[in-house]
Structure 1
Amino acid sequence: MTTSAKEHLLAKQDRSHRAINSFIRARDAISAADDQEGGGGWMNPDVISLAHGEGVRRPHHSVVAAGVRALLDTTESSLDNYLYLRRFPAFEEELTATFQAAGIPDDAASNLCIDSGNTRLFLAFFHAVGDPGDVFLVPQGYYQAVNMWADISSVYLETVETRRSNDYKFTRGDLEEFYRRRVDTGEVRRPKGLILFSPSYTGAVYEESELAEIAEFVEQRDLVVLEDAIFRGTEFTGRSSAHLAGMPNMSQRVVTINGGSKAYGLANIRIGWGCGPQYLIERMNYYTMATSITVPHIAKAMALAALRAPAEYLEGNIAECAARAELVARLLDEINENVASALGFTPAEPLLTVAHHPKAAHSVLVSGNGMAGLLTPDGREVTDSTDVTRHFLNTARVCLSPGVSNGFTDCTVRIAFGCLGWEHTYAYPKHAEIVASAGALLTAFDPGLSDRAVEERLHAAGIDPQWSSLDHLNPGFQGGREELTEAIQRRLGPAVVRLALDNQQELRARHARSAATPEDTAVLSAAGSVPEMAQ
């Protein structure tokens, strides 16, 4: 290996280690691992966590019933047998039909890989596509654990700088600029592929025209792509976004993955699925078979039921998430108004503000760059999102999600609201779950029972077989909105105002500099008057 090649390898390893260390630092911040006073982290009972990323609520009651049936099934399922390489045709057919309906061509939609969650699908993709040292591109806002998955797969991630004005989505221009500055100059090894999050983890949605331009770039640069579509079905408009694999000439270059964790409320069941070109899916299935042998049938049965559940279930989740995103924006605006009132002037940059308004998913990306350079009560200077997170965890008992583990090196954080207050949603569908599960038990013992007979036996057991037809409008959602209001309005708000008042002199100086014309600034600097304006 030449000296130049060694330097490039060491540089890549250093960037990879820095990214992983950033993730670890962010994890330590939310868990308060470095808290000398033992105040506790995001799991502490008195902390409101805005950093959890699960689904919105429990799955539809028909999904719970499907799990009960699968537990008792000894024909298709088993608890004591690996069911080595056993297929589940009904589930596979549903997946293929779902991918086809989303615009993915048959030559990709019919080739399936099913594994225990998207984590393993990422690992399977890296092992199927990458050789040790290969480079894959990710946009800012990527899922934080991808760094670790790349690391244990012996491949490298390179973050492509994207723009706030474009909701931090990949654009062809961003990719071409990355190649011009870092690939064509030899700083970075020619990438093998890229990772696309669509919709993104921060709720950005790609238009077809944007995907078409990315597709042209992918073909031109001979790349392969993993599209993580785990937030598909959460779009606030109710219209699902397009897939990159549906663009011209892309079906043999793109692996598309999804799963049960976000839209369908099956995070703890651990089920993910993907489709793509046969040559890649075969390699991914080899990895799956070699490392996990089988995916539990109960997970497949519940995922199948989730895909077939009434559309109203997803519609209810979407409406709630859209409302919570709007609530976050209003509450942050209120905080900024209170800061300006307390200071007597509007800071040059808000201490906390929405970085871009989401159109999908379960969180809001928030810029805390107005806090950069300020001093916290313990004398620490705020330099990045872990500092922001640590400060509010300690002073407001609210845990934010640090953006440093998503590729943001500034003070960007996320407010994850999807599963907030989940405990309030449990009581409402309980009756429907009991009825559906009891029906599954009865028909397991007597498969010939009619629906009428099942209802009669439930009545005899003292169970009303009817449930609300408005199950998707879960009243428990209100509890989550109240917790969100408590966290932002009554906890974060006063903490932000206190921080602003503690740093009033610095904020006033910034305000003066932002209000001054270039000529004023030159005169003031020459006269040495700028510091006095901060007094």
Structure 2
Amino acid sequence: MRHLSRAIGSIMPSATMAIADRAKEMERNGIDVISLSIGEPDFPTPAHITEAAIDALQRGETHYAPSRGIPELLEAVAEKLSTENHIPISPVDCIVTAGAKDAIRLLCQAVLNPGDEVIILDPSWVSYEPCIQMAGGKAVHYPLDPVTFQPGESLVEAITPSTRMIIVNSPSNPTGSILTRSSLGMIADLCFDHDLLALSDEIYEKLVYDGAEHISLASIHEMAERTVTINGFSKAYAMTGWRLGYAAGPSEVINYMNRIQQHSVSHPTTFVMWGGAAALKGDQSCVAKMRDEFARRRSFVISRLRQAGFACAPADGAFYAFANVGGDDSVIASEWLEEKHVAVTPGSAFGAPGWVRMSYATSMERLEEAMERVCGE
């Protein structure tokens, strides 16, 4: 049809959602499918967060709010970033968005012009490139070391006169690896040397294990002036369906993001933002409890995969096991789904052929059954 957008036509559907849809279809047909494909905590949203949103509803917080977010949440975001992440930031440098994914979309549209290039470190989350494409930009893929999953000195060779931004995701989806201080320092140097902006996706920052250290890129050197830090509530607080995220960075960039938000969603749902404020300002023991359970599952899944002969990426954070299965990962993932009834996401979707991503954000009982089906007893 000649009325359809060529730009949108060039964007591939989400492989993660496609696998999940097929798994749900099989379940509707009575097949016992264990889905390890979606990155969604299996815990309920902590009660004090839900109660804060209910209280907001009951007192009438159901009308328009400021487009950048309610002041209470903006202040909580700025305080969190300043104290926990050591990023010098104020509420005027922050914006609340309808999920972290939408913050990424807003940023790409705010800073990219047609033909501008953005470097993505592969393996990478499936939605970075579509967000770049929708803004008229071009994704440039740089492969990380397949053992350490750190960038090398050759990263500089990916930079051209058209490069405008580099995307950093640590802890990583899909690998679970964390960029070291040395790697982040190298990226910071390249940003200064070549006048680049950085997008630092830190949605998994609170899910780190075995003493691993998460470091915010914006806390290094003077990177706060050229980094947009993006985060949200979905992973740490089990709030995927709430669709609430935030971004913080140079005020000029945040203001441009806000212009787009004003003419699209206007602002995130008003009473949801009160839940977000409660999440950041309330007791954080709920996060620690979920993280401890993820750590237990992580240890089990990684151990079983390695015993079965699958090499795995360093799973220092997030809630994914990224396993090297060799061969055609799409075929293997399809076989596991159709024959073993275990849904995983092919690594090709993340720019890593021969690998698969497994989410261990499901019960230990289901994980034990999944490992038996995939690895054998």
- Tell me the TM-score normalized by structure 1: 0.64
Shift of 1:82: 2.5
Q: Distance in 1 between matches of 2:176 and 2:29?
A: 25
Does the C-alpha gap of structure 1 residues 118 and 85 become closer, same or farther in structure 2, counting only changes over 3 Å? closer
In structure 1, the partner of 2:374 is 492
Does the C-alpha gap of structure 1 residues 207 and 389 become closer, same or farther in structure 2, counting only changes over 3 Å? same
Shift of 1:207: 2.6
Q: 131, 139, 162: which is aligned to 1:190?
A: 162
Spell out structure 1 runs of 4+ moving beyond 6 A. 41-44
Shift of 1:493: 2.6
Read off the aligned partner of 1:194 and give its amino acid letter: I
Read off the aligned partner of 2:71 and give its amino acid letter: P
Q: Distance in 2 between matches of 1:357 and 1:230?
A: 18
* Greater fraction of residues in strand: 2
In structure 1, the partner of 2:356 is 413
Number of positions where the alignment pairs a residue of Structure 1 with one of Structure 2:
370
Shift of 1:405: 1.2
Read off the aligned partner of 2:34 and give its amino acid letter: I
Q: Is residue 266 of structure 2 the alignment partner of residue 293 of structure 1?
A: yes
Q: Are 2:302 and 2:312, in contact at CA under 8 Å, matched by a contact in 1?
A: no
Matches for 1:418-437 after TM superposition, within 5 Å:
418=361, 420=362
In structure 2, the partner of 1:82 is 64
Q: Is residue 168 of structure 2 the alignment partner of residue 224 of structure 1?
A: no
Q: Are 2:233 and 2:240, in contact at CA under 8 Å, matched by a contact in 1?
A: yes
Q: Distance in 1 between matches of 2:264 and 2:154?
A: 37
Q: 102, 108, 114: which is aligned to 1:120?
A: 102
Matches for 1:120-269 after TM superposition, within 5 Å:
120-166=102-148, 168-169=149-150, 171=151, 173-179=153-159, 183=160, 190-201=162-173, 202-237=175-210, 241-269=214-242
Q: 483, 492, 495: which is aligned to 2:366?
A: 483
Q: Distance in 2 between matches of 1:165 and 1:93?
A: 40
Shift of 1:354: 3.4
Read off the aligned partner of 2:73 and give its amino acid letter: F
Q: Are 1:238 and 1:318, in contact at CA under 8 Å, matched by a contact in 2?
A: no
Does the C-alpha gap of structure 1 residues 43 and 29 become closer, same or farther in structure 2, counting only changes over 3 Å? farther
Read off the aligned partner of 2:50 and give its amino acid letter: V
Q: Distance in 2 between matches of 1:28 and 1:293?
A: 29
* CA deviations over 1:286-312 (Å, ceiling 9, x no partner): 111111112222111111111123232
Q: Is residue 315 of structure 2 the alignment partner of residue 401 of structure 1?
A: no
Does the C-alpha gap of structure 1 residues 355 and 177 become closer, same or farther in structure 2, counting only changes over 3 Å? farther
Which segments of 5 or more consecutive residues in structure 1 lack a partner in the other structure?
Answer: 1-12, 184-188, 337-349, 373-382, 421-479, 498-535
Shift of 1:173: 1.3
Larger relative contact order (CA 8 Å, sep ≥ 6)? 2
* CA deviations over 1:489-534 (Å, ceiling 9, x no partner): 1x1134xx9xxxxxxxxxxxxxxxxxxxxxxxxxxxxxxxxxxxxx
Q: 317, 336, 349: which is aligned to 1:360?
A: 317
Larger Rg: 1
Q: Distance in 2 between matches of 1:333 and 1:105?
A: 38
Does the C-alpha gap of structure 1 residues 157 and 307 become closer, same or farther in structure 2, counting only changes over 3 Å? same
Q: Distance in 2 between matches of 1:238 and 1:95?
A: 25
Which segments of 5 or more consecutive residues in structure 2 lack a partner in the other structure?
Answer: 1-5
* CA deviations over 1:159-183 (Å, ceiling 9, x no partner): 10111222x23x251412434xxx4
* % identity of equivalent residues: 22
Does the C-alpha gap of structure 1 residues 72 and 366 become closer, same or farther in structure 2, counting only changes over 3 Å? same
Does the C-alpha gap of structure 1 residues 265 and 256 become closer, same or farther in structure 2, counting only changes over 3 Å? same
Read off the aligned partner of 2:317 and give its amino acid letter: A
